[in-house]
Structure 1
């Protein structure tokens, strides 16, 4: 029996049938034929390439595997992504950055049957991935961003990383403030450049993970950050991410500011729970319910208040001479969004019932470091 035949039979059983024994039958076939391992890996590379053709990117695939399966599957898909990359065509800067962040740990050693079972579970998921909206990252963009903007964003990321790592609140606040000051300066520099010599670049798009729990409030926060930075966000709740549409510099600002604000929110939430003594066990279920409603309300208020602050700041950031270029960019961003998402719906925040959580969340948002951009001259 050829190795291809073994893999085909295993796939026919495990990937295309849904019976209780289908997966075990396929794994048994693969476990009994070590010569089929190379063909099995080659098919895995094909599944990954198929995901790319359906609009998925490396971070998207790793995120959905982590969301739906286990750590071993994440390591397996990471190995497939790395193995498939040399045969792929040139990709953009964001794609290459995602490849660099793919885990490089080897999957744990185990018996052949368990390994084959995990591989087939992973391939089942990859085979069923839906088609996503194309982000259209043009080949050859990898060399872009090597100039001043890239160096500035590297400094901003380093400052935010230090803010997250320090155990001293005053130092974290100072580092966050400095990072956001640099972010504002970087955005202003790009806007002035566009005003003086309009860029031929079209709006792009990226996906940002919106992880559970309390993902609805997090999606609202991301939407607020996107809007304040001349971008638009569309949340895909089932797949756990938002697609943000905008010009490249603004997209990077959204990623950085959202990450920073989410970090600040998490820190503030932990402190608020400790200060108020939010119960974690009141007859077990009661304590868990209070904790959940407090956190939902806290993060919902935080997102709402941050949105209000950012919107107010945006109104004072732009002088008359910059309005035309921002207006033309807004038209371009809206057009791109409408082409990618011709049908969208709105949703309302759920589970906002804890008054103390709402109050604490709003106060935390007022304390969050969100610097106004200096006026343009």
Structure 2
């Protein structure tokens, strides 16, 4: 529709809100069903261009959630689900993101019904919906090119090979996740310790077995990559924590502070370990910080932000040391015959990281000036459980 084309051009390519208002007015004045169908088509094109620039569904939703509103997030999920109809195959991580976003397939049926179904769902007027869609288009079209971390949708997906020695691999990861969830939720330290210890045992075995199978020629294993969100506030401390989890699992993490994520490069079992480890440690650290902060505030302290910044920075720093010790412990237990295998995997990961990010820079962490926060954060790191790696006693 020519009217929708004018609306999109006025809104997306203008630098001010006057063009946005003009575009929304043009959309609202058009036949609503036709406008909805055309906007959906253009939205699919915008999403497709994001995929071509290296973005994945979770990445796009993360940026939209950060820069726009909940309505825009729901609209983004709609566009992703609509675009996903084009593809017969998607990679496992891609498919998992679609499931998490509830974007595996459209919920509105025929595209001719999208506009009316959308208005009924959001319970708002046409002008507001048109404005939100055009704001979303403007964000999507300006997404920069980033490093791809997996095959784009529609490309043939190479199935991960399984050995008869590991027929229950997916079941093992599900069990690890369940154990960690229970460990994070329980109020009883002894129970948490037992649950986390079991998760440590299973995850360590999973990673080492994968390395041995690859070395024996049972798999065509090669380094892969994934992106993990590093959200504000205190994102520097969180990026340090993620880097510690990555290093402990023989992965490499590269933080993009502007876009709010780190790219983690490593072998697939180790990437899974990093995601589980980082999530669990972040939950434990945040919970401990909240309790420590409450005690500080009860004692009359007011500098909440400074305390939190110092706490999480200290927590990330100390956890990094503990993870390094745990990695050495696991390697020693595995025996010296495994060292050449692990060294070869380290080289492969480093080579993949250098090819993906030939130019990286180091950043200086801002100093923290809250001594109590640093002390509490260090203590919390010493108490934290290490999913996937045997515990270390000080």
Please show how residues 48-127 of structure 1 align to structure 2 within 5 Å: 48-103=47-102, 108-127=122-141
Count of aligned pairs: 364
**Displacement of 1:197 after TM fit?**
3.1
Verify: 1:349 aligned to 2:365, yes or no.
Answer: yes
Verify: 1:309 aligned to 2:290, yes or no.
Answer: no
Cα distance between partner residues in 1 of 2:370 and 2:218: 48
Q: Deviations over 1:37-85 (max 9, x none)?
A: 2111100001111100000001001111101100000000001111111
Q: Quote the residue 1:324 is aligned against.
A: 340
Cα distance between partner residues in 2 of 1:278 and 1:144: 53
Q: 1:22 aligns with which of 19, 22, 43?
A: 19
- When normalised by structure 1's length, the TM-score is 0.91
SS in 1 for 2:194: helix
Q: Is contact 2:161–2:219 with CA below 8 Å preserved after alignment?
A: no
Q: Quote the residue 1:45 is aligned against.
A: 44
CA distance change for structure 1 residues 328 and 278 in 2, over 3 Å: closer, same or farther?
farther
SS in 2 for 1:317: helix
Q: Quote the residue 2:146 is aligned against.
A: 132
**Displacement of 1:208 after TM fit?**
0.3
Q: Is contact 2:47–2:83 with CA below 8 Å preserved after alignment?
A: yes
Q: Is contact 1:93–1:144 with CA below 8 Å preserved after alignment?
A: no
Q: Is contact 1:188–1:373 with CA below 8 Å preserved after alignment?
A: no
- When normalised by structure 2's length, the TM-score is 0.87
Cα distance between partner residues in 2 of 1:337 and 1:115: 42
Q: 2:6 aligns with which of 5, 9, 23?
A: 9
SS in 2 for 1:87: coil
Q: Quote the residue 2:114 is aligned against.
A: none
Q: Is contact 1:293–1:351 with CA below 8 Å preserved after alignment?
A: no
Q: 2:292 aligns with which of 261, 266, 272?
A: 272
Cα distance between partner residues in 2 of 1:339 and 1:272: 43
Q: Is contact 1:235–1:243 with CA below 8 Å preserved after alignment?
A: yes
**Displacement of 1:15 after TM fit?**
0.5
What stretches of structure 2 of length at least 5 have no aligned partner?
108-117
Verify: 1:149 aligned to 2:148, yes or no.
Answer: no
Please show how residues 160-239 of structure 1 align to structure 2 within 5 Å: 160-197=180-217, 199-239=219-259
CA distance change for structure 1 residues 112 and 142 in 2, over 3 Å: closer, same or farther?
farther
Q: Is contact 2:330–2:390 with CA below 8 Å preserved after alignment?
A: yes
**Displacement of 1:109 after TM fit?**
2.4
Q: Deviations over 1:172-231 (max 9, x none)?
A: 443333222221221122223234336322210000001111010000000011011010
CA distance change for structure 1 residues 170 and 275 in 2, over 3 Å: closer, same or farther?
farther
SS in 2 for 1:316: helix
Cα distance between partner residues in 1 of 2:136 and 2:102: 16
Q: Quote the residue 1:244 is aligned against.
A: 264
SS in 1 for 2:361: coil
Cα distance between partner residues in 2 of 1:145 and 1:201: 8
User: What value does the CA root-mean-square deviation take over the aligned residues?
Assistant: 2.1
Q: 2:29 aligns with which of 28, 32, 36?
A: 32
